[in-house]
Amino acid sequence: MLDVDALNGRLLFAIPKKGRLHEKCMELLAGADIQFRRDHRLDVCLVKNHNIALVFLPAADIPSFVGKGNVDLGITGQDVLQEAQMQQHVTEVLPLSFGKCALQVQVPEAGPIQTVEQLAGKRVVTSFEVLSGEYFGKLDEKLNLAGDSKTNIEYVGGSVEAACALGLADGIVDLVESGDTMRAAGLHAIATLMQSEAVLIKSSTPKHESLDPLIKLITARIAGVVAASKYVVCEYNIPRAKLHDATGITPGRRAPTISPLEDEAWVAVSSMVEKKRVADVMDELVKIGAEDILIFNLDNCRV
């Protein structure tokens, strides 16, 4: 086992040990050049090239360890953060652009219940007791449901989507990513409690001031990896008279880089463009007279 004394003086960084966020977190650590070797079944390991120890925890526990324990940084979902009610103890440092999903109320597609008002007062199964309780508590109050007539929220740790088919619930509250699992269970969504994605978090109260420079370094590296996954570099030549229109199409994250050419009537522009918009951006640039439009993928960057 890892000697506990080896953790003293190190930045503790909590990573989901399994589940929907784990693989993306591994890619993020590799992109940030955080080098480590995790022994089989060992949930704590030391980083080789930084004064960091990685702690692999269930995603649901990470907000508590960061907010109230000695862990300095963590990655978890916004849904988990709100369910743990740790917003006062934890600061969201950076959205990570993966793990996007929606926490939704779901009911059998062919069943008699098709609105949340119809579901109120009945049985709801979920692994998000706090958020579900808040949502249906407000709904019960609005509908004047009290006592035994209030919505019954029951906790199930897994296989929530099976609760309706197996007679345990009239509806469920569960996370939806692609929606494939929901549809396979014969369910459909009738309300959304919140949208969620993975976030980098830290304690609202700094624990180890000496580690603050390292926290800033790791945060900047992770921000660069996230930006590289979202953006490409778009370079093109444009008549100087059309420069204003061109920079409106490619404003960049801060501002585009504009360089003169030997032909004084033309300039070269370099700008970061969101990957999801790149085809439309190229079409718009062609329409205003841009030429030699080139797209470069980013392996990494600093933003």
For position 211, what pLDDT does the model report? 92
Q: Looking at residue 6, what is its pLDDT?
A: 65
pLDDT value, residue 82:
94
Q: Which pLDDT does position 40 carry in this prediction?
A: 72
pTM, two decimals, is 0.85
In this predicted structure, what is the pLDDT of residue 142?
A: 94
242 touches 231 (CB < 8 A): no
Q: What is the pLDDT of residue 159?
A: 87
Pairing of strands 123-126, 171-176: parallel
What is the Cα–Cα distance from 112 to 23, expressed in whole angstroms? 39
Q: What pLDDT shows up at residue 279? A: 97
Q: What pLDDT, on a 0 to 100 scale, did the predictor assign at position 281? A: 97
pLDDT of residue 20: 82
Structural domains for the chain: 4-98+198-207 (3.40.190.10), 101-196 (3.40.190.10), 232-297 (3.30.70.120)
Residue 116 corresponds to which tokens in the numbers above? 């949340």
- Low-confidence stretches of the chain (pLDDT < 70) are 1-6
pLDDT for residue 104: 96
Q: How far is it, in rounded angstroms, from Cα 184 to Cα 186?
A: 5
pLDDT at 147: 86
Identify the pLDDT of residue 7. Answer: 75
pLDDT tens figures, 86-107: 988 999 999 999 999 999 999 9
